[in-house]
Structure 1
Amino acid sequence: MKLILKIFFILFCVFTQAQKKHYFLIDSETKVKKKVKDSASAVKFLDSLAQNNYFFTQLKEVKVIGDSTEIVFDKGKNFNETYVNLSDSITQKTKIQKEFFTKNLDSTKKKINKTYIDDGFAFSRIKSKYKGQKNGYPVVELDINKNDKRTIDGFVVKGYERVPKRFMKNLEKEFKGKTYDDKNLIAINKNFQSHQFVTLERPPQTLFTKDSTSIYLFMEKKKTNTFDGVIGFGNDKTDKFTLNGTLNVNFRNIFNGFETINLYWQRNPDKGQTFDLQTDIPYLFKSNVGLNMKVNIFRQDSTFANVKALPAFYYHINNRNKIGLRGTFESSSIIDTLYVQGKDYNKKGIGIWFEMIEPTDIDLFLYKTKINGGYDYLTTTYTKDNIKAPQNQFYFFGEHNYHINGNHFLNIKAEGAMMDSKIDFSANELYRFGGWNSMRGFNENSLAADFYYYGGLEYRYLIGNQAFFDVFGQYGQLNNKSLNVKPKLYSVGLGFNFFIPIGLMSFQLSNGNEFGNPFKFNDIKIHWGILSRF
């Protein structure tokens, strides 16, 4: 442009007259004074005005005062309403008509430029050229300088670097070679949002070199070990006031392999005790195959005892979904010979299961969504009767925290299980449920069935990010063929959950009963618990 050449010539002449100069740009309209590094910087600034809708920028005066040079300019009117003439390459790319009128040239340029950025041209730049006037408005020609297309070439881990190699390989498999754009950057960041074991200290950063584009991940190891303790108060079958409780300890990622070791113990008011030991290794031999080993022991006072082993292998579909095969080896022994409803038995079989967990960014909730389901085909041998029978078992669990608006949430939960066989089940092999984590308002594991289901809605009101109130209602039904009963059940209650220095404390009142039975206040269950991360 002639204007730029004139400015450059003047500044060059001034520059040659002194070894060290100070340069100032002065806006004749606003009187704003801007210091620049040298003459080239002054030219670049004035050129940028012409590229940003100030098409009639004029050089008014150049004043040399000692070692300072003052350049007075008038940028003129900002023409954001213009006629636009697109280059052939932009027209072909965007499918926009070649000539049109716009009331917002800046928005038009950003929209066109984003089209190229989304295709991986991270350093694309829209060039404006003044072509004259039409009906009192400027005519501007837009062209594109695309530069080189960028794709994601790899990841560099900083900070907590001892993450499983397979985890990083899965990340590279998903994103390496993809277009470098906002969509993929958001997807990468989302992979770490509320991740169970790691978090990002800052959003992913990018290093551009001439031949590569590397994403830097500044990782931090989370405190994921948990202690979950619950104390319950209620009445047993004889209406005697009893104390019961649950302890659940999880050791996670101790060896930096995203592994989990779980210890679980529970005592219910009817003198039943449960003990679980579970180990989960997600990336076995640096592969996407995981190993889960679980041993469950249940003893009902001096009546009977069940021991179950569940070895399983599973495959990571992605970071949140997995599908697996498991074996079942279970045995039960009758301790009290007067317990005629039970039988000694052994079970073995194989099954398939699926699990999906979507993390939550709300610390008060365990997760946003969890779905777990499975099917097992078993062979049951009743040892004393020398009877063998095939058996099918189905299980489903689903939970979701739905955000209504503001601080209002709705927790939706459902669970069901069924066992099917051609012969009658013994009482000691039935499903046991009820209590804090299932059908609330009933004693822990006090409900026995060969088929059951329940569903519940819980309204939660959050108080900042430190506490929430909840009110809930549940409906369910069970089937017990041995007793020939099919009661319909309900439970209602309310609670309060809040953070204290040692963790999340929960307090809950609940009452459950069978439809048709009178409501009894002395059947109210009180639970107090704490979940601590360390």
Structure 2
Amino acid sequence: MLLSLNGFTQNLGLKAYGKSDSETSTIKNLNYTAFHKNYKSVKLEVDSIQNALLKMGYIENELKFIKKINDSTVESLIHLKNKIDTIYIYHDKNEINTSKINQVSKIINDTCFAVKVSNLENTLNYLNAEISKKGFPFSNLKLSNIKKRDSISLKAFLKLNTSKQKRTIDHIIIKGYQKFPKAYLKHFLKIKPCQTFDLNHIKLKTEQLNNMNFARETKSPEVLFTKDSTSLYLYIEKTQSNTFDGFIGFGTNEDTNKLEFDGYLNLTLINNLNFGEAFRVLYKSDENDQRTFETNLTLPYLFNTPIGVELMLRLFKKDSSFTTANQSAKLHYQINSKNKALVGITSTESNNLRSENTASLVSDYTTFNYTLGYEFNSSRTLNLLFPFNSKLYTNIGFGKRKTSNAHENQTLASLDGFKIFNLNHKNSLYIRTYGEALISNNYYENELLRFGGINSIRGFEENSLYASLFGLINSEYRFQLSNTIYIHSIIDAAYFENKTTDTHEKLYGFGFGFGLLTKTGLFKLNYALGKTENENAKLSNSKIHLSFIANF
């Protein structure tokens, strides 16, 4: 008894072969499991081999024997017999759309189509799924009257079992976030009552909830079927979506050699009225005695349509030189959860505060532009440090600038986008490109584009660079030390032109930084050294930027 028990506890080796070398080779190519803990496991593996052979077309394969040769080896002889290559399936053309059959077969007529036996299971699953999408979730397909057509093919009749009543979504019940804005169901998720029921398609749509910044899906949707109705249950949770974003930068003034501070405050309130609205306030003060105040309001899905409105007001003051006020109103159309198209108008008014003659570098003017835009937002990721993988925004405006003695046609174009390339779960590469261009026959200083600082090219003072055209690339190699801490390099490059001073210059920024995710938000520190193409890098020109983004 002891010897017998010891034999059963040893691993058993399975050796499966056919009646000929070619059959044995076919069986070996299945890569079956050779070692097993007991005889029952061996028997199950032999059954698995036979099923695999059946799907390959050896429908008549026969197990000749399975026997234990010794305490550690089991042999199995399987006779493959004749291989069936093709099956011809006859069907009712009124039950299955011919266009769907064209996707799975090249041999087809009104009542019959042929497929490889090895593809039969996938073919039937595909056709059944297509029928289910039309509102028949309980449909099933099966083959009947299976017979040999010739030595290498079969013929069979396809039978469809389905309910006569087509299923549509009759009720949508939201669990959890009861005040979830209903317009987002219809236009963001594209789910609405009376829609043909397709559970797999619905699951793909509800996954888009995780792309929203004020709600998320807590579990997959569920369905309640009754005799005459279909109720869809969505499980949604409201998330913290308000953000507070700010930074402090400091560096040494090149002229006075004194330490100077700059910074900004960015407050965004999202969905506080359960409408999906967004309200943003920005205040920025920098080293060059410049002040910026900006406010934005976004109202989506007006009157339960896919159209929303975006309003913006920006005030800018440059010491005692000039002030500029920008206003814009845009209508956006939500194409789907990731894509948005925009059209609108923008007006600008700038006033010269200087009393002395400035050789026309600063002048009073007004502009009025018609704008077109496009926005793409990628899916959210599970990484809390980098919640978005990519984003793109582009805008172009056409209009006129008016001064006291002239009218000038102008074009303003901008592009801003980024992409994170994940090398593995800890290493990633961040690339961002950002550029703007003002096209005009002549320029004033107070209408030039302003850039520089933590949100453009790092290592330079905030908004210290004036350009009629600029383009830049930000890059970071990021390494995650944990789920809450990462370090990164800084390599930035930019090119700009200033037509008022006939300047063409290349800029570079180098440095490093880190990010720390806390319970209250994301803290970031950047150290960057900026230089122009024709100057040597000086540590005294370096900048340290601190920022903190809090969600509440």
TM-score range relative to shorter protein = 0.7 to 0.9
Cα separation, 2, equivalents of 1:339 and 1:100: 82
Instruction: Tell me if 1:346 matches 2:361.
Output: no
2:413 paired with 1:394: yes
Of 117, 135, 138 in structure 2, the residue corresponding to residue 123 of structure 1 is: 138
User: Could you say which residue in structure 2 is the equivalent of 1:472?
Assistant: 490
Q: Specify the alignment match of 2:311 in structure 1.
A: 293
How far apart are the structure 2 equivalents of 1:391 and 1:112? Answer: 57
- Structure 1 residue 455 and structure 2 residue 476: aligned? no
1:34 equivalent in structure 2: none
1:443 to 435, 448, 461: 461
Q: 1:208 to 1:141 in 2, by over 3 A?
A: same
Query: In terms of mean alpha carbon deviation, does 510-519 or 81-90 score higher?
Result: 81-90
For residue 191 of structure 1, give the secondary structure of its aligned residue in structure 2.
Answer: helix
For residue 162 of structure 2, what is the amino acid of its counterpart? K
Q: Does 1:145 align with 2:161?
A: yes
Say yes or no: does 1:192 pair with 2:209.
yes
Secondary structure of 2:201's counterpart equals helix
The answer to whether the Cα contact below 8 Å between 2:279 and 2:296 also exists between their aligned partners in 1 is yes
2:504 aligns to what?
Answer: 486
Structure 1 distance, partners of 2:517, 2:361, is: 45
Alpha-carbon deviation of 1:346?
Answer: 2.5
The 1-side partners of 2:311 and 2:116 are apart by: 68
> Quick one: which of 360, 368, 385 aligns to 2:380?
360
Does residue 251 in structure 1 map to residue 266 in structure 2?
no
| 521, 526, 550: which one aligns with 1:508 | 526
Residue 342 of structure 1: how far off its partner (Å): 3.8
Query: 2:425 aligned with 1:410, yes or no?
Result: no
Question: C-alpha separation between the residues in 2 aligned to 1:437 and 1:333?
Answer: 27
CA distance in 2, matches of 1:445, 1:229: 16
Larger deviation: 440-449 or 301-310? 301-310
**Residue 228 of structure 2 corresponds to residue 211 of structure 1:** yes
The structural deviation recorded for 1:502 is: 1.2
Shift in CA distance, 417/110, structure 1 to aligned 2, threshold 3 Å:
closer
**Aligned equivalents of 1:121 and 1:191: distance in 2?**
24
Q: Indicate how the Cα distance of structure 1 residues 129 and 516 shifts in structure 2: closer, same or farther if over 3 A, else same.
A: same
TM-aligned CA deviation for residue 145 of structure 1: 3.1
Q: Deviations over 1:23-59 (max 9, x none)?
A: xxxxxx99xxxxxxxxxxxxxxxxxxxxxx9xxxxxx
Give the direction of change, closer, same or farther, for the CA distance of 1:462–1:182 in structure 2 (3 Å limit): farther
Q: Which amino acid aligns with 1:251?
A: L
CA contact (8 A) 2:488 2:512 kept: yes
Match of 1:236 in 2: 253
Counterpart of 1:334 in structure 2 is 353
Shift of residue 438, structure 1, vs aligned partner:
0.8
TM alignment of 1:27-426, pairs within 5 A = 88-89=90-91, 114=129, 116-117=131-132, 120-125=135-140, 144-148=160-164, 150-153=167-170, 155-170=172-187, 180-181=197-198, 183-238=200-255, 239-319=257-337, 320-335=339-354, 337=356, 342-358=361-377, 359-361=379-381, 362-365=383-386, 367-383=388-404, 386-423=405-442, 425-426=443-444
Partners of 2:244 and 2:131 in 1: CA distance: 51
In the other structure, the counterpart of 1:41 is none
Partner of 1:6: none
Query: Is the partner of 1:201 in helix, strand or coil?
Result: strand
SS of residue matched to 1:313: strand
Letter in 2 for 1:416: G
Which range moves more in the overlay, 281-290 or 435-444?
281-290
Q: Cα distance, 1:129 vs. partner?
A: 8.3
Equivalenced residue count is 454
Q: Contact 2:185/2:191 (CA < 8 Å) preserved in 1?
A: no
Q: Deviations over 1:490-518 (max 9, x none)?
A: 21222111211210111111122111211
CA distance 1:255–1:101, shift in 2 (3 Å): closer
Contact 1:234 1:526 in 2 (8 A): yes
Give me the whole-angstrom Cα distance separating, in 1, the residues matched to 2:412 and 2:144: 73
**Is contact 1:248–1:264 with CA below 8 Å preserved after alignment?**
yes
Shift of 1:404: 3.3
Moved more, 441-450 or 93-102: 93-102
- Supply the RMSD in Å over aligned alpha carbons: 3.7
Matches within 5 A, 1:10-21: none
CA distance in 2, matches of 1:277, 1:101: 63
SS of equivalent to 1:254: coil
1:445 offset after TM fit, Å?
A: 0.1
What stretches of structure 2 of length at least 5 have no aligned partner?
1-38, 41-58, 60-79, 106-111
More moved, 325-334 vs 111-120: 111-120
Q: Contact 2:328/2:346 (CA < 8 Å) preserved in 1?
A: yes
Q: Tell me the distance in 1 between the aligned counterparts of 2:297 and 2:196.
A: 39
TM-score by length of 1: 0.74
Contact 2:397 2:413 in 1 (8 A): yes
Distance in 1 of aligned mates of 2:375 and 2:113? 49
Moved more, 352-361 or 150-159: 150-159
Aligned to 1:518: 536
Deviation at 1:398, TM superposition (A): 1.7
The answer to which of 246-255 and 319-328 deviates more is 319-328
Alpha-carbon shift at residue 318 of structure 1 (Å):
3.0
Q: Matched residues in 1 for 2:302 and 2:121: separation?
A: 54
CA distance in 2, matches of 1:371, 1:184: 26
In 2, distance between residues paired with 1:160 and 1:526?
A: 42
Q: Note if contact 1:353-1:372 (Cα within 8 Å) is conserved in structure 2.
A: no
Question: Secondary structure of the equivalent of 1:405?
Answer: coil
The structure-2 alpha-carbon separation of the partners of 1:427 and 1:201, relative to structure 1 and needing over 3 Å to count, comes to same
Q: Given the superposition, is the C-alpha separation of residues 355 and 367 from structure 1 closer, same or farther in structure 2, using an over 3 Å criterion?
A: farther
Change (3 A) 1:151 1:533: same
- How far the C-alpha of 1:527 sits from its partner, in A, is 0.9
CA distance, structure 2, for counterparts of residue 247 and residue 529 of structure 1: 10
Change (3 A) 1:457 1:381: same
Aligned-pair CA distance for 1:206: 1.6
Amino acid at match of 1:360: R
CA–CA distance in 2 between the matches of 1:422 and 1:204? 58
**What is the identity, as a one-letter code, of the residue corresponding to 1:164?**
P
1:152/1:179 contact within 8 Å kept: yes
